[in-house]
Structure formats: structure tokens, C-alpha cells
Chain A
Amino acid sequence: MGGSIRACGMSEAAAESTSTMSDFRRTPSLWSKAAVRLRHNRVAMAAAAVIFVLACVAIMGPLVSPYAVDSLDWDRLAAAPLGPGSHWLGTDRLGRDLFVRTCHGLRISLVISLVSTAISLAIGVTWGAVAGLVGGRTDELMMRFVDILYSLPYLFIVIILTTLFERGSLPVLFCAIGAVGWLTTARIIRGQTLSLARREFIEAARATGLSTPAILLRHIIPNLVGPIVAYAALTIPQMILFESFLSFLGLGVQEPLASLGSLINDGAQEMQSAPWMLLVPAGFLVVLLMSFNLLGDALSDALDPRDDGGPRD
């Protein structure tokens, strides 16, 4: 063991003079270890496959189907799935093809959740890292602000933001949903930054006269990528949920566009006469959420540096 380490150190020292990049490749990084752990997790791989298939269906489905999102089929109003005619998953009460509408709903859910996750991460990481690194009075004020926003029902913030502007515009939805997601991120990132800020290499960076923004960009954030990715994977399903929730209440995506939430709302109105209108979008939403939850859990397990393949229950 000792011998191999020494040998390894020798060759690294030799390699250092030519290229520092090759060093990175030799020692298994956080990422390659995480990738191995993830690949051994069958549930996670299945969840990833399901997400991939759903994304493909969302993109390809409307291209394959002869119907458009808003085209009405007056001969087949509220037709059952797999019935006569060529509507695979049936139609709604206006004769619109449910498969195509669900695909569009999936697209919107996926796009909104990805964009608002990015927004909430950008705000949350910046906020948390600045608070943690600067510390003192600034930290106290910034986190106090987060606490206050926390005590507001998040729905209230989103409702106010959606009514601030015209209802149903997608950019407003992105921002409104992203604006409530960053609070938890900020708390987590602040905690991680606090423990990083005490480490020697940060002190060394400070001693060499690096400015605070430079330390933030060059030393803090690269070291936070693991928790950021893990948390992002768990944020996506929450954002999907927010969006569907808003659309269900009629505050989100507006007709003739469809989102999974608005489809579920339509379906709930008609559930006695046409239960498939509820079951189809609800099924897609639940499978999507489950897959993202499982993948997110597996990712945060795989990236958790505290757990190095030890016994897990």
C-alpha cells in the first residue's frame, strides 16, 4: 500500500512538470466515483431511463401524431382511449387529442422546471456563498431575510408575482417559481460555505491577496459543485410540482397551451364521464415526479462525500 502511494507520488511529480491536467485524470475524482456508484444503483438507472423516455415522448410525440395541440375533432368528443378512431389516449371534451396535449404539458413542465431550477440555483448559490464567506453583520442580515421569506406561505409569493404581471406568461412563471425555490438552496450553500471558509486553502488564498469575489469564484463555488448538483436534482421535481400546482389553480399556463397541472384540472371536472382525462395526465405527472425523486436521492447519495461506499440501509 505504502509502496504504491510512493510510486504514485513519484510519477505524479514527474507528470507535474509536463502537464497538471493529467494529474486530475489519474486520481479518481468525486465525479468518477459518483458515476460508478450511480451506475451500480439499478433503481437510479431505471429512473434515469424513464425520464429519458418521457423526454423523448414529449419531444417526438406531437411530431408523430397527426393532430395538433389545439385542433378540434368534432366527431370524437371525449372519446375513450384506444377506441375507434386514431386517438391513442382519447380526446377531451372539445375533441382535442389527449396524447398530444399531454406531450405538450410534459414539455412545458420539463422546460419550466429546468429553467426555474437554474434560476433558483443561481440566486441561492450566490446568496448563500456570499453570506457564508463574508460573514458577520452581512451574513446575519441576509439570512434573516431568508427566514422572513420562509415564514411566508410560498404560494403567496408566487401568487403575488403571477398577478404582478399578466397571467400565464412563461417568463413570469419561470421567475415566480424560481424565486421561491432558492431559499433552501441558500441555506444549504451557506452552511457548506461556512465550513469551507475555515479551511487553510481559503486562508492561503486570502493571504496571497485574492479579493473576496475571486475567492468565491475560484475556490468556494468549484468546491460546492457536488452539493449543488445533488440539490438541483431534488429541486427539479419540486419545480415540476409548483408549476403543475399553479396551473391546476388556473394561475399558470393558460389555454390553448396545456400543462400537466391544467390537464389534471380539466380532467377532474370531467372525471365522472371521462375518467381517462384525469388518469392520463395524472399518471404521467406521478411517474415523472417519482423518477426525478429517485434519481435525485441516488445522486445525492452518490455525491455525498461523507459516505464512501460504507454500509447503507
Chain B
Amino acid sequence: MLRYALRRIAGSIPTLLILISVSFFIMRLAPGGPFDQEQTLSHEVRANLDRVYGLDQPITVQYARYLRALSHGDFGPSYKQRDFSVTELIAQGLPVSATLGVSALLLALASGISLGMVAAVRRQTSVDVGITSLVVLGLALPGFVTGPLLALLFGVYLQWLPAGGWEEGAPRYFVLPAITLAVPLAAYVARLTRASALEVFRANFIRTATARGLGWRRVVWSHALRPILLPVVSYIGPAAAFVVTGSLVVETVFGLPGTGRYLVQGAINRDYPLIMGMVIVYGTLVLLLNLITDLVYGWLDPRVRHE
């Protein structure tokens, strides 16, 4: 297990390196530079700026310099937000984004698994039809629709929760954003769980357990649940990637100071180090979550052994 994990981590380093290189060169191929929009700059000032940030060097030299700095954990300075390094910016935003993402993921898993299980146990009843319809609706509700609607309903009309904004250490600012982010995920998890549960319920070992005279509660909890959760677990990796990109919209809608906005801002402003920093952080996160998913999968399913 440990050896497998270590090998996977070692294997993801070249992937990350390719990711960094591809992003670096694609971005530099794009026309325009970070200082184009500041039209008041005289040629001398621009030349100076380019020299300070090393943009006057050939691109291969810039690439080598970037990698050298990166190996020391230095993401470089932000070109636009002049007094901040990329590390500082990401360190500011990441706790907010991470809290939002983790709470949305947990919420989606908890509600999705329970809804899916209830629908499967009560299959072909009105409960099942109701949950299945909710799932269809939830899958068609993107964050930029749910977000404003929830803010309008609970923030503006009912005034139960803040419609947007953020305050240090006030969890109520996270409630609506987390729900918004969780809705389509929960719907998908519920659908996966339901389909998987129906398949497992038909399996021979479940029939054997029932034939031995166990109550259905016991059968579901101690025999069926683990195999039912397998497809859900393998979905956690993609779900995390979804949360990462989805948080961008949710942060925009609710005005949360997370990292999502850096991506759009950075791309529009050609703030190269900021985008690179975000790509590296997100890429590492996704690779790591995929690894965790595979490890949990191996633990849940004894047929999968990580040799």
C-alpha cells in the first residue's frame, strides 16, 4: 500500500512537469503581455518593467528561470497586484476556497448517498419517483443559476442568510455558497448510489444474506453498503475537479475572497506567474485527490490490490 502510494506520487511528478511546461508555453504564445493595458507607460518604463520581470529574455531562459525558482518553492511575483507575491495571494484565498470546496463535497456526498439509498430501498414508489425527479432537476441546475436564485430567496426575500459577502470566522456566509456548489454533485451522487444499490440488491450474496434470515436493515448496512459505495468513491476524484472549477462561479456569485477569481483575472491580465501558480496548485490537488480515491477504493474493494 505504502509502496504503491509512493510510486504513484513519483509517477505524478512528470505529469505535473508536463502540465507546467505546456501551460507555460501556451500562455506565452498568446498575443499581448501583462503591461499592454497600461497605455500611459512610456517605452522606457515598459522596457524597465520587462527587464525587472525578465520578460526581455528569450523564452527558454525565462522557462529555465521559472523552473529554478519553482524548485525553491517560489511562485514569483504577481505582475498586476504589484506588492504581492503569487504565494501570498494564493495563501490568502486558499483557506476560503478549501473550506467552501470541502464543505460542499461533504454535503453532496452525505445528501446524495442518503437520497440514493432511500430511492433504491423504496424503488418504484412515489418516494423513488420524487427523488429521481429531484435528481433530474438538480443535474440541470448549474451554480450560476442556483446561486442567484438561493441568494434571492434566502438572502433578499426571507433574509435568513447573507446574500453574499464574507466575514472572517462567520460560517453563515458559507451556507448558501456550499449548497449552491453541492446541488449538481449531490444529484449525480444520488443517481450513482441508486443505480449501484439496485444492482447490488440483485446480487447473489444479498439473496444469501436475506435467506439466512437477516433483517433488511442488517443486510443493507453490513453487506450491501460497501459494494454500493464503490462507484461513488471512484467519482470523488472527478467531483473534486468539479468543485475546483465550480467554486470559481460560486465565489463570483457570492463575492467570496477565494482563489477562483485569480484564474479569470490572471488570464485577462496576462498575469503569467499568477496563472501558473493556480495551475500548479489545482493540478497537484486533482492528482492528489485521484491518488486518495484509488487508495480508498482499494480499501473498500478487497478485489483491488495495489501491488
Contacts and interface: CB of A to CB of B under 8 A. Distances in A.
A248 B142 CA distance: 11
Given A151-B283, A160-B267, A163-B268, A293 B151 contact: no
14 contacts: A147-B15, A148-B15, A152-B23, A152-B279, A153-B282, A155-B248, A156-B275, A162-B267, A163-B32, A251-B264, A271-B148, A271-B156, A286-B140, A286-B145
A290 interface: yes
Nearest to A162: B267
A105 B272 CA distance: 33
A249 B252 contact: yes
A285 B18 CA distance: 37
* Main secondary structure on B side of the interface with A: helix
Give 3 closest A-B pairs by Cβ, nearest first: A289-B140, A268-B148, A290-B140
A156 B29 contact: no
B161 interface: no
A313 interface: yes
Contact of B151 (A155, A261, A271): A271
A278 B152 contact: yes
Contact of B152 (A160, A251, A275): A275
A164 interface: yes
B136 A294 contact: yes
B282 A282 contact: no
Given A156-B279, A289-B142, A293-B139, 8 more contacts: A148-B15, A151-B286, A153-B286, A156-B23, A156-B263, A160-B27, A163-B30, A286-B140
A154 interface: yes
B18 A148 contact: yes
A248 B149 CA distance: 15
Given A152-B279, A156-B282, A286 B19 contact: no
A248 B19 contact: no
Contacts of B149: 278, 282
A137 to B, nearest CB: 16
B198 A313 contact: yes
B245 A154 contact: yes
B144 interface: yes
Given A148-B19, A152-B279, A313-B124, A163 B267 contact: yes
Interface residues of B, number: 48
B292 interface: no
Contacts of A155: 245, 248, 263
Contacts of B249: 245, 248-249
B140 A245 contact: no
A241 interface: yes
Given A151-B283, A151-B287, A245 B142 contact: yes
B182 to A, nearest CB: 17
Interface string A285-297: 1110110011000
A90 interface: no
B124 A153 contact: no
Interface of B: 15, 18-19, 22-23, 26-27, 29-32, 123-124, 136-137, 139-142, 144-145, 147-149, 151-152, 156, 198, 241, 244-245, 248-249, 252-253, 263-264, 267-268, 270, 275, 278-279, 282-283, 286-287, 290
Contact of B136 (A154, A159, A278, A293): A293
Interface of A: 147-148, 151-156, 159-160, 162-164, 237, 241, 244-245, 248-249, 251, 261, 264-265, 267-268, 271-272, 275, 278, 282, 285-287, 289-290, 293-294, 313
Contacts of A265: 144
A275 B151 CA distance: 11
Nearest to B286: A151
Nearest to A272: B156
A288 to B, nearest CB: 8
Nearest to B191: A297
B241 A290 contact: no
Contacts of A245: 142, 144, 249
A294 B268 CA distance: 36
A295 to B, nearest CB: 11
A82 to B, nearest CB: 20
Contacts of B283: 151-152
Contact of B144 (A160, A248, A289): A248
B19 A151 contact: yes
A293 B31 CA distance: 38
A270 to B, nearest CB: 10
A156 B19 CA distance: 12
B148 A267 contact: yes
Given A152-B279, A164-B29, A249-B264, A261 B144 contact: yes
Given A248-B249, A251-B264, A160 B26 contact: yes
Contacts of B27: 160
A160 B272 CA distance: 11
Contacts of B248: 155, 249
A293 B133 CA distance: 12
**Interface core residue of A154, A155, A275 (most chain B CB under 10 Å):** A155
B22 A148 contact: yes
A283 B294 CA distance: 39
Nearest to B144: A248
Given A148-B19, A153-B241, A159 B264 contact: yes
A254 to B, nearest CB: 13
Contacts of A289: 139-140, 142
Contacts of A151: 15, 19, 283, 286-287, 290
